[in-house]
C-alpha cells in the first residue's frame, strides 16, 4: 500500500466524530447541517414527554418508558426527572447502559435466555443494579434463582403473559399462575408482578376498535391477576401498554398499573395514523423526529434525488412523509441504499442541488437504531448532539 501523506496521518489520530459538532449553539445552524442526519425538535419532544408523564400521573399509572425506542441516556434521564418509575429495556446491553448510568427501576421486558445473557445479568445483579427480569417458561426459573443468590437482595422477576401477540409470554392463565408460583417458591427471587404487552393492538387505527380489543385483553389479564391474588401472590405491578393503547390501558377498570410506552416521544408516520385518544381531532403527541436530507441530483423531470435512502430510515412500515423543504404534495420514495427520490407535484417549483428536505420517520424505533446521535434543534439552531448510547450493542 502506498505511504500515507503526513496530513492524512494527522487525520487518523482523531475519531470520526460528528461533522456537525462545531455547529452547536450557532444561530441558524440547522440549515448548515451535514446530512443525512437525525433531527430532534426539542420543543415538540419535550411537550410529548410531559404530556405522557402528566397523563400517567393523572390516571394513577406508573410510567416506565421503553428505552428500545430511543436508546439514549439523556432521554432516559429526562423521563426519570419527569416522574417515571423506571425504564424498560429490550436487551441485556440496554440494561448495562442504563445501569451503568445509575438508572434505577430497570425492567428487562424480554424473557432472558441463553448462557451469555444470563452471565451478564448475574454480573449486573451482583453489582447492585436495580433490574427486574421477565420469565415465560418454567425451565428458566432455576437459572434465575442461581443469579438471584449472587446478589445482596433477591432478583425481582415478573411473569410474562401472552395477550395474543404469540411472541413471548405464558400461553394460558394457568401457565402464568403456575410460573408465578415457581418464582415465589425461590427465596433468591422476588415475584414482582405480571407483564403483558399487546403488540398486535398498538397500530389498530380506530380508537373504538382498539378499545374493544384492549378490553378483551384486559379480561384475560384480570383472570391472571385474580388467580394470583387467590393464590396469595398479588402482583406488585401489572406492566405493559404501548403508545397505541396507553389511554385504553389507563382506563379506570384496566388491570395495568403501569405503562411501557416509548414511541410517544417521537411519533412517526405509523403512529400518526392511529387515533390515539377517543375522537380523531385530539392527537396528544406530535412528530418530533425527522431525517434531514440534501438534494444531490436534479436531472429528471418532476423528481429530485436526495442523499437519504434505505440505510437512513426503517423500511418495514410506510414511506417517510415530507415535513419541510419541498412543495405541498411532494412525496418521498426509497431509491436504493443511499438515495431517496422526492416526487414533485405537477406544476410545483423545482428543487435545486443542495436544498434540504426533512422527513417524518416512518417507524421511529428502527430508524433511530440507524444513527449514532440525535441532532437536537430549537427552531433553526442545533443546540446539542445526544448519543444513541445503546445503538447496535449486542
Contact call for residue 127 and a copy of itself (CB under 8 A): yes
Nearer Cβ to a copy of itself (47/272): 272
Our finding on whether 275 is near a copy of itself (CB under 8 A) is no
- List Cα–Cα distances, 387 to 263, 268, 375, in angstroms: 18, 20, 9
115 touching a copy of itself, by CB under 8 A: yes
Nearer to a copy of itself, 277 or 391 (CB): 391
Stretch that binds a copy of itself, among 17-25, 46-54, 215-223, 342-350 (CB under 8 A): 17-25
State the binding string over 18-57 for a copy of itself (x if CB under 8 A, else -).
xxx-----------xxxxxx--------------------
- What angle in degrees, to the nearest 10, is found between the helix axes of 115-126 and 141-148? 30
Looking at residue 71, the DSSP 8-state letter turns out to be -
By CB under 8 A, tell whether 171 contacts a copy of itself: yes
Is 1 near a copy of itself (CB under 8 A)? yes
Cell of 38: 437525525
β-bridge pairing 258-259 and 303-306: unpaired
Distances (CA, A) of 69 to 39, 261, 270, 322: 15, 9, 14, 22
Does 199 bind a copy of itself (CB under 8 A)? Our answer is yes
**The binder of a copy of itself chosen from 30, 64, 78, 117 (CB under 8 A):** 117
Residue whose C-alpha cell reads 443468590 in the numeric block: 149
Instruction: By CB under 8 A, name the one of 110, 254, 260, 288 that touches a copy of itself.
Output: 110
Give least dist CB 377 to a copy of itself, A: 15
Q: Which stretch binds a copy of itself (CB under 8 A): 43-51, 112-120, 243-251, 252-260?
A: 112-120
Residue 278 beta carbon to a copy of itself: minimum distance, rounded to whole angstroms: 26
**189 three-state secondary structure:** strand
**Closest approach of a copy of itself to the CB of residue 267, in Å:** 16
Segment near a copy of itself (CB under 8 A); pick from 43-51, 162-170, 217-225, 248-256 = 162-170
Eight-state DSSP code of residue 161: B
Rounded Cα–Cα distance for residues 80 and 64 (Å)? 9
Contact 186, 227 (CB under 8 A): no
Full 3-state SS string of 330-351? CEEEECCCCCEEEECCCCCCCC
Contacts with 106 (C-beta within 8 Å, 6 or more apart), sequence order: 86, 87, 88, 89, 95, 98, 99, 129, 130, 131, 132
Site pattern 201..240 for a copy of itself (x: CB under 8 A): ----------------------------------------
Under the criterion CB under 8 A, does residue 175 sit at the interface with a copy of itself? yes
Amino acid at each position: 500500500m502506498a505511504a500515507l501523506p503526513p496530513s492524512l496521518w494527522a487525520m487518523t489520530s482523531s475519531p470520526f466524530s460528528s461533522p456537525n459538532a462545531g455547529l452547536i449553539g450557532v444561530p441558524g445552524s440547522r440549515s448548515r447541517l451535514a446530512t443525512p442526519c437525525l433531527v430532534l425538535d426539542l420543543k415538540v419532544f419535550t411537550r410529548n414527554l410531559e404530556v405522557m408523564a402528566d397523563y400517567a400521573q393523572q390516571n394513577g399509572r406508573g410510567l416506565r418508558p421503553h428505552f428500545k425506542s430511543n436508546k439514549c441516556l439523556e432521554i432516559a434521564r429526562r423521563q426519570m426527572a419527569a416522574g417515571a418509575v423506571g425504564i424498560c429495556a429490550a436487551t441485556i446491553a440496554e440494561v448495562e447502559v442504563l445501569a451503568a448510568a445509575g438508572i434505577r427501576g430497570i425492567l428487562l421486558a424480554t424473557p432472558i435466555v441463553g448462557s451469555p445473557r444470563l452471565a451478564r445479568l448475574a454480573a449486573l445483579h451482583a453489582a447492585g443494579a436495580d433490574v427486574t427480569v421477565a420469565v415465560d417458561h418454567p425451565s428458566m426459573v432455576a437459572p434465575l434463582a442461581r443469579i438471584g443468590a449472587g446478589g445482596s437482595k433477591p432478583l425481582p422477576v415478573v411473569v410474562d403473559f401472552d395477550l395474543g401477540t404469540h411472541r413471548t409470554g405464558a400461553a394460558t392463565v394457568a401457565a402464568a399462575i403456575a410460573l408465578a408460583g415457581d418464582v415465589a417458591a425461590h427465596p433468591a427471587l422476588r415475584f414482582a408482578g405480571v407483564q403483558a404487552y399487546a403488540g398486535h393492538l398498538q397500530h389498530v387505527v380506530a380508537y373504538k376498535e382498539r378499545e374493544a380489543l384492549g378490553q378483551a385483553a384486559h379480561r384475560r389479564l384480570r383472570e391472571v391477576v385474580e388467580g394470583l391474588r387467590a393464590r396469595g401472590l398479588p402482583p406488585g405491578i401489572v406492566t405493559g401498554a404501548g403508545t397505541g393503547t396507553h389511554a385504553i390501558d389507563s382506563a379506570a377498570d384496566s388491570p395495568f398499573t403501569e405503562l411501557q410506552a416509548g414511541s410517544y416521544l417521537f411519533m412517526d408516520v405509523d403512529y400518526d395514523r392511529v387515533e390515539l385518544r377517543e375522537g380523531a381531532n385530539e392527537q396528544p403527541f406530535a412528530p418530533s423526529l425527522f431525517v434531514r436530507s440534501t438534494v444531490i441530483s436534479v436531472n429528471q423531470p418532476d423528481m429530485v434525488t436526495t442523499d437519504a435512502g434505505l440505510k437512513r430510515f426503517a423500511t418495514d412500515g410506510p414511506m417517510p412523509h415530507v415535513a419541510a423543504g419541498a412543495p405541498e404534495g411532494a412525496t418521498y420514495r426509497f431509491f436504493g441504499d443511499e438515495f431517496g427520490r422526492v416526487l414533485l407535484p405537477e406544476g410545483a417549483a423545482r428543487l435545486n442541488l443542495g436544498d434540504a428536505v426533512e422527513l417524518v420517520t416512518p417507524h421511529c424505533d428502527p430508524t433511530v437504531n440507524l444513527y449514532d446521535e440525535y441532532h437536537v434543534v430549537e427552531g433553526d439552531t442545533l443546540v446539542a448532539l445526544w448519543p444513541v448510547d445503546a445503538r447496535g450493542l449486542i
